[in-house]
Amino acid sequence: MPRCCGASLVSVVDGDGSPQSLGLQIQDGNPRNKTALAPGHSLMDWIRLGNSGADLTGVGGVPRIVTLSELASHNKKNDAWIAIRGIVFNVTQYMDFHPGGIDELMRGVGKDATKLFESVHAWVNYQSILQKCVVGRLSRGSVSGTTPSPTENTTVSNTADCSSATLNQITSCTTDCAGQENVPDGDLSSIKMDWKQTIQLITFFFKQQTCKSPGLCYELTKQTDSKLIFKLIFENDTTTHILDLIGKIKWPPTCIRNFETMQVDFTFLKQEKMPWINYGIQMIMRETSTARLFREYEVVANILLSNLVHLLVLRAKDFLQIITPGRHVIVKLNDIDMLLGKDLSRSYTPVPPCLHPDYMPPNYTSNCQCLIIKKYPNGAISPSITTLQVGQTLLLSGVVGTFAIEKYDRYSVIHMVAAGTGLTPMLGIIQRSLSKRSVKTINLLHFNKNEQNMFYEDQLEKVSGKKLKVTHILSQPRDTWTGIRGVVSYELLEELVGKCKPDECVFTCGPLPFMRATRM
């Protein structure tokens, strides 16, 4: 195949649609391996056509799954699809713009032309030239790329299988799930992905236009160094963004969640320090699923916080979750023999790695989850979890629960009443509230039996001040204790919390008797 118009990187990050901003290098003259193009069919004309709003995909601009048989049916000059490196492009309107001529381009039409392309001109930046022509992803399975109508006699996959699938199964399953056909245009549609870069870094960020998705959680999976899968999870509705990048990144990313703007940034180091003309190809899919998927996490730190309370830092391989404050995960042990053959599980609330940077736990990275777990000597699972050593593993589920902290954003004063490890769900709320300008006061009451049961007090003291007030109450302290003594009671709560005003709310967490007492 004769050489097409070359494409080389230039040091332009943001462009206006010109050849230079697309990273294209226009070649003047008429090299012997190029075909003379008719007037109005230059590279500049092709770029103008792409920027005109015309649908060059032929499928309405909605990415889809394309099977080999479907690809083969689009093998004519006036209906031409071509697959390169797993992505299918509609090159019908590009025919007359191809510098190598129509006949040469037709050699790859209707088939996977990756080998042909790479053997002739692998240096050409086809992603930029054909970025407006993407039909979707090539699937070598037998699943059709179109969603069957309800009247078609089609066997569909079980919705529950979707969330436990691999990448290839996900793309097939989300196409054919019965539950997906009736997914409404819900709140996740307001969340947009964008990107920015420097020479060394590339950032993908998601931002809600309004708070239409309270309790939104994120999952990110690295398939390869150039393929990422983002999942935005809201209740049982999931939007999946699959990115085929034009360059390679380093794992894990730096994750920043801005609680004011509701923007979440994922920033990666590039393996090669150079600007990207674009980030690559994106596919977006919707699915509904209630299936629960467990992943293996490795213990990278087990820190004793107090007499019986441990902080576990757990890391997944090529996977991370951002869980909204107040939600929880389900924990299972990998070694079922430790549980005498019983498959037991418990729910725990992930906590921030720290509230103050001086207390960042060892070995923590963005793809870690932190759990605070109290060891109950006669407990079914906590004695085994709290004795796990670095390098051992356990299983964590995805996010569970329906609590949505955003529903309480109208309150400027937050009271928290916690007993023992009932503090753990409060920590994420404290971290979030400290960063929000609308929250003026955080009043935390932490009840414990004695000094040996206290934990996190040094770190809470470090971040307390004008906005955060922390009060420790012990029921059986030593004689040297100078703080408040007692148990939760109406009189004590009236003294330390008072009567709530319209701009105040109260969060409580602890054992059942404690919870009953707080409602008196």
Flag whether 128 is in a domain: yes
pLDDT of residue 335: 55
Q: Which residues pair with 371 in a beta bridge?
A: 312, 350
Last residue of a domain, one of 347, 370, 397: 397
Q: Judge if 230 and 129 occupy the same domain.
A: no
Q: Is 190 helix (H, G, I), strand (E, B) or coil?
A: helix
Q: Judge if 488 and 364 occupy the same domain.
A: no
Last residue of a domain, one of 343, 373, 397: 397
Q: Judge if 431 and 495 occupy the same domain.
A: yes
Q: Judge if 32 and 136 occupy the same domain.
A: yes
Q: Judge if 350 and 446 occupy the same domain.
A: no
Flag whether 153 is in a domain: no
Q: Judge if 445 and 380 occupy the same domain.
A: no
CATH code of the domain in which 126 resides: 3.10.120.10
Flag whether 379 is in a domain: yes
Task: Note the pLDDT tens digit of each residue in 227-258.
Answer: 999 999 987 788 999 999 999 999 999 999 99
Which residues of the chain are under the pLDDT cut of 70? 1-35, 122-123, 140-189, 209-213, 289-290, 335-343, 520
Q: Judge if 380 and 414 occupy the same domain.
A: no
CATH code of the domain in which 310 resides: 2.40.30.10
Q: Judge if 356 and 280 occupy the same domain.
A: no
Structure tokens at 394: 């356990």
Q: Judge if 138 and 83 occupy the same domain.
A: yes
CATH code of the domain in which 507 resides: 3.40.50.80
Max CA-CA distance within the chain? 95
pLDDT of residue 19: 37
Query: Could you tell me if 446 and 471 are in contact, meaning their C-beta atoms sit under 8 angstroms apart?
Result: yes
Q: Judge if 278 and 181 occupy the same domain.
A: yes
Flag whether 160 is in a domain: no
Domain count, the chain: 4
Q: Alpha helix locations (H) across 177-223?
A: none
Letter for the amino acid at 398? G
Q: Which residues pair with 465 in a beta bridge?
A: none
Flag whether 260 is in a domain: yes
pLDDT of residue 171: 24
pLDDT of residue 7: 30
Flag whether 436 is in a domain: yes
Q: Closest by alpha carbon to 214, among 408, 36, 15? A: 408
Q: Judge if 251 and 328 occupy the same domain.
A: no
Question: pTM value?
Answer: 0.66
Q: Closest by alpha carbon to 407, among 166, 216, 183? A: 216
CA dist list (Å): 414 to 389, 417, 463: 37, 10, 16
Query: Which element (helix H / strand E) includes 115?
Result: helix 114-121
Q: Judge if 498 and 439 occupy the same domain.
A: yes
Q: Alpha helix locations (H) across 362-441?
A: 382-386, 424-434
Last residue of a domain, one of 222, 255, 288: 288
What's the order of all strands across the beta sheet hosting 134-139? Answer: 64-67, 134-139, 87-90, 79-84, 75-76
Angle made by CA atoms 480, 483, 486, in degrees to the nearest 5: 100
Angle made by CA atoms 187, 189, 194, in degrees to the nearest 5: 130
Q: Which residues pair with 394 in a beta bridge?
A: 297, 333
Domain range for 315: 294-397
Flag whether 152 is in a domain: no
Q: Is 484 helix (H, G, I), strand (E, B) or coil?
A: strand
Flag whether 222 is in a domain: yes
Query: Could you tell me if 65 and 35 are in contact, meaning their C-beta atoms sit under 8 angstroms apart?
Result: no
Task: Note the pLDDT tens digit of each residue in 363-395.
Answer: 999 999 999 999 998 888 899 999 999 999 999
